[in-house]
Chains A and B, each alone.
Chain A
Amino acid sequence: VSRDGEDGPRVPGEPNGEEEVPGELGADDGDGADGSSESLSPVTITVDDEHRAALGQVVEGLRQRGMQVDAVLEGLGMVTGRARDAAALWQVEGVSGVDSQIVHRLPPPDAEIQ
């Protein structure tokens, strides 16, 4: 899985095609992409194995770089929340992944196929 040496390939903020995923989030807002680009987008931070024991420090670093933390998932070594500048979160020591959150959607209750 993602390790320190692998920094860089997944930066949601960069124009590398990853924008498709946040695009799904934008669709959820219904107001068009322009409105959501100004707002915070939901992100998932993965903490590397070496820093899982010191999760608090990583969380502090994430906050300092502008992330609004929703949940610290100690069992998984992950942090979820929202950020305006997701790319900046890569700079926090111990971060091995920064990913935009995907929305999962079920068909309506009366659908035959779910």
Chain B
Amino acid sequence: MIESGSNPLIPGLEGGTLLTPPETTGRFIVVFAEGAEAPAGILRDAAGLPDVVTSRDLRTDEVTEETAQTTDTVFEELGMAVVSADPEQLGALQTSTKARGSVLSVSPELIHHVRADDYVRGYADGVGDLSRRLGVSGGPVPPAGQASGVSPQFFQDNPDLTWGIQATRADGSSFTGQGIAVAVLDTGFDAAHPDFGGRSVTMQSFIPGESAQDGHGHGTHCIGTACGPKSPTTGPRYGVAHEADIFVGKVLSNGGSGSDGGILAGIDWAVGSGCAIISMSLGADVPREHPPYTVAGQRALDRGSLIIAAAGNNAMRTQLDFGFVGAPANSPFIVAVGALNQQLDVAFFSARTLAEAKGGQVDVAGPGYQVYSSWPMPTRYRAISGTSMATPHVAGLAALWAEATGFRGRELWSVLTQESRRLLAPSLDVGSGLVFAP
């Protein structure tokens, strides 16, 4: 991720983005481990810094320009300190037995400026961009994937992995979703599918007169993407959270339809079953927030369940119709997922943020074009497109994050967006970008 040219003395700074090396103050920032006891004592005993004050002292005393510049200060709420130290003392902080386990990092204090040169830089960028557009100079505009650090530019299914598993880096994750319950509320599941032998699967139908067996296909496809196996009986890996516990809530009939009553009952059941993630590849093209889903999303979050829903397929971008996020995804407490194609561009059908509704935005994006996954037997596998297919990618990835961090509810939502990879596509269409595996 760090481009070549990084200054080795200042880890974490991407040298390629700065015209000049960053200015430093000569002082250093010490970051203490969480729960490290008596940071001031560590600085004194390990590094021989005698006059360390805490930020609490500074708050009560008069802070002068001079004390702020020269005093070694511990910020207790942050678990950090700013110190003047020579190389020997710095070395001792990182190696001394007294400091062992208590000091996470020591790095130079940087000088930050008001960006007075932004106008000039912006002008230069503008001229450069115009030149490229007019074909005056050959500087290529970086394609979406490259600018976002994602490569290659065009993902393809290969014999081992679907393109979605590659693009989200699920294949490189050491997390599996083990111990995480994922509910998929859809058309049910083909319990006889050979790829799910030995898995923990709990099935419940909320459709009167129909069992949870999938008579449509959509549900089996979504469950495959979210929770399918690491090594299917044949063909490439298509599932993200391959050891998650699967909760199948049938809320859409074999004919593919269902109403709020069954969907809310399914959410209630999933929350009560302790599902950390509730994946809903369903919706209605209603251009306003539907209040029951606002409440349900909020109360589910309160109970530690994150609802992830499809933004909708009502766009026809080839005709400049961008559509809108429908219900339930347009509720503020439900994650709305847009669909990407293999070039990480917005899929032509993927709905755009509904500006009129609070919470009507697309929150994140996932692979949703020509997605290969499980289908009821005897068909076994099928590739289809839709925000319905992007949603279970994100649900499976959320299960990996839940396992990796222990986060639930709002914290889990936060880490998903925080760790998603920004794309060049408008945030109106992809939100925080492509969700990555931990």
> Footprint of B on A, CB under 8 Å?
1-2, 10, 21, 24-25, 28, 42, 44, 46, 70-71, 73-78, 80-81, 97, 99, 101-109, 111-114
Contacts and interface: CB of A to CB of B under 8 A. Distances in A.
Given A73-B268, A78-B264, A106-B282, A2 B291 contact: yes
A17 B388 CA distance: 29
B264 A80 contact: yes
Nearest to B339: A113
Nearest to A101: B260
Those 10 A-B pairs whose CB atoms lie nearest each other, nearest first = A106-B256, A73-B268, A101-B260, A80-B261, A114-B386, A105-B257, A44-B292, A75-B268, A75-B271, A109-B217
Contacts of B384: 111-114
Interface stretch (B16-24, B139-147, B157-165, B294-302): B294-302
Nearest to A78: B264
Contacts of B256: 105-109
A105 B272 contact: no
B132 to A, nearest CB: 35
Contact of A73 (B221, B264, B291, B294): B264
Contacts of A75: 267-269, 271-272, 299, 303
A103 B284 contact: yes
Contact of A1 (B286, B298, B313): B298
B192 interface: no
Given A1-B295, A75-B267, A97-B295, 7 more contacts: A77-B295, A99-B291, A99-B292, A101-B260, A104-B282, A105-B256, A113-B349
B247 to A, nearest CB: 14
Contacts of B269: 75
Nearest to B388: A114
Contacts of B272: 74-75
A102 B260 contact: yes
A26 B264 CA distance: 21
Contacts of A74: 268, 272
B385 A113 contact: yes
Chain B interface residue number, banded: 35 or more
B265 interface: yes
A42 B385 contact: no
Contacts of B295: 1-2, 46, 76-78, 97
Contacts of B268: 71, 73-76, 78
A78 B281 CA distance: 22
Interface of B: 187, 216-218, 221, 252, 256-261, 263-265, 267-269, 271-272, 281-284, 286, 290-292, 294-296, 298-300, 303, 313, 327, 349, 384-386, 388-389
Given A77-B299, A104-B252, A109 B271 contact: no
B214 to A, nearest CB: 10
Contacts of B265: 71, 73, 80
B324 to A, nearest CB: 15
Nearest to A77: B299
A99 B294 CA distance: 12
A104 B299 contact: no
Contacts of B216: 106, 109
B313 A113 contact: yes
B54 to A, nearest CB: 41
A70 B291 contact: no
Contacts of B389: 114
B260 A112 contact: no
A76 B217 contact: no
Nearest to B281: A114
A102 B252 CA distance: 13
B88 to A, nearest CB: 59
A102 B260 CA distance: 6
28 contacts: A1-B295, A71-B264, A71-B265, A76-B267, A76-B271, A76-B296, A76-B299, A77-B299, A78-B264, A78-B296, A80-B264, A97-B292, A99-B292, A101-B259, A102-B259, A102-B290, A103-B257, A103-B259, A104-B258, A105-B257, A105-B284, A106-B218, A109-B216, A113-B313, A113-B384, A114-B218, A114-B384, A114-B385
Contacts of A99: 260, 290-292
A25 B284 CA distance: 12
